[in-house]
Amino acid sequence: MRLLIIGVLDGHIGQASRIARGRGAQVLQANRIDAGLEILRSGRGADLVLIDVRLEVAALIRSLDTERIAVPVVACGVGSDTQAAVAAIKAGAKEYLPLPPDPELIAAVLAAVSAEDHAIIHRDPRMAAVLAFADRIAASDASVLVTGASGTGKELMARYLHAGSRRAERRFVGVNCAAIPENLLESELFGHEKGAFTGAVARRIGRFEEASGGTLLLDEISEMEPRLQAKLLRAIQEREIDRVGGVQPVRVDVRIIATSNRDLQAAVAEGAFRADLYFRLNVVTLNIPSLAERPADIDVLARHFIDKYAAANGVPVPVLSPEARQLLNVYPWPGNVRELENAMHRAVLLADHGRVDSDAIVLDGRTQQAAAGSGVRQPDPVGAGSGPHPLVGHKVADVERTLIIDTLEHCFGNRTHAANILGISIRTLRNKLRQYAAEGFAVPMPGGGERPPVQAR
């Protein structure tokens, strides 16, 4: 976890820096915004920027947007400075961290940004076999394609491979190809020269150069546009990249690990993914089974997440009742480990008298105590029952909109997770959401908030 602090390291901000270092973060510091931007452009990079709210937070975020530098920003300041806190959030800061700093709150912010818990918890023989195979290939420099459904732990596996490689002491740099718009992704990967486009006020080092000597994760690579696929292929083949606006190639030395939750062979057959790039990436394929395919992991993961979130929330570790455990084991887990983690986080918050009972297990948007029997109720098939199906009489577009928005709410606004559950690309989902917002419908935002409608319904 690389943390860049922008502000003078005295008093509370200096204390925040020491706490972050104590939690394992690598901390860089700049007194001024322009100096902080120079650090980000130089390739030293950061996974999170913490800025003193007394500085021009809005100016920093405008510069990051203009220069196409994708990094989350958290503002910090004394707790009583509410107006500055509101202004920072409105300007685009992801969070506001009150000072003096609370060690657990800083740890929670770092964990939320960096997903610092990289242990692969397992008990099922199928997962043990996957890890044994990963151990055999980790030390090589071969490209690896990690496949599996959304939420199975593909990024964790990529970090596991890096930790077992000869590059383990060098950087692991990840890029989510689905989360970054196409016009930003090229600069994010390859960097740019000063004047390459409007707003390129200085040279910026891209992720390839940041990761040189280490490992570069290309997360959800199936969402990359064909034009960038061609440039990526050349970078992998020639071990050199061209910055946007550059005239001289730059040598790089990276190991590529790519992930996909889609069938890339099918994407190649459809013409949506380059065959030559697929074969370059697919030197070794490592498939992570879904949680339903490794049922012995459910109980051990549930207990792990209960321990984790009890500690994070400062509450005693609750006991998982046999009835609750049974519900967990019969549920199909379409969202895999990520969905189980969210469910256990909620269960810790809803636990009563130190016990997680069935009414604390919220799956598929409702408490499972309301489900009939010990299993999970499935939707009634079309034509079942004596009356017409509830969907009869509704327009297809209305049903589709309801399904998409409800699924997004279920995923707490996570676009990638929702797209995978719906079986559509992230790009299609984004287009639909833009359409719905323009039509006046409230669209769930990441973290559970809502983007207000553009116009009244």
- Residue 95 pairs with which residues in a beta bridge? 74
| CATH 3.40.50.2300 domain extents, the chain | 2-114
Output the six-digit token pair for 183: 């016009």
* Gyration radius (Cα) of the chain, Å: 23
Please provide the DSSP assignment of 346-393 as one string. Answer: HHHHH-BTTEE-GGG-EETTEEGGGSSSSS-PPPPPTT-SSS--TTTT
- Protein fold of 396-451: Arc Repressor Mutant, subunit A (1.10.10)
Residues of the chain with CATH 1.10.8.60: 293-370
Count of C-beta atoms within a 10 Å radius of residue 205:
19
* Tens-digit pLDDT string for the chain (457 aa): 788 999 887 778 888 888 888 877 788 889 999 999 988 888 777 888 999 888 999 999 988 888 878 788 988 887 666 788 888 888 888 888 888 877 777 776 666 655 445 678 999 999 999 999 999 999 999 999 999 998 999 999 999 999 899 998 888 998 988 878 777 888 889 988 888 887 777 888 889 998 999 999 999 999 898 889 999 999 999 999 999 888 889 999 999 999 998 889 999 998 889 999 999 998 999 999 999 999 999 999 999 999 988 887 788 999 999 999 999 999 999 989 989 998 998 899 888 889 999 888 988 654 444 443 434 433 343 434 444 455 556 677 778 888 888 888 777 777 877 777 777 877 788 888 888 888 888 888 765 555 544 443 3
SS3 322: helix
What residues does CATH 3.40.50.300 cover in the chain? 125-287
CATH label, 125-287, candidates 2.60.40.10, 3.20.20.70, 3.40.50.300, 3.40.190.10: 3.40.50.300
Structural domain 293-370, CATH architecture: Orthogonal Bundle (1.10)
Please state which of the four CATH numbers 3.10.20.600, 3.10.110.10, 3.40.50.2300, 3.40.50.300 is assigned to the domain occupying 2-114. 3.40.50.2300
129: left (phi over 0), alpha (psi -120 to 50) or beta: alpha
pTM beyond 0.75, yes or no: no
Please spell the DSSP secondary structure of 246-283, one letter per residue.
-SS-EE---EEEEEESS-HHHHHHTTSS-HHHHHHHTT
- Distance separating alpha carbons of residues 133 and 126, to the nearest angstrom: 11
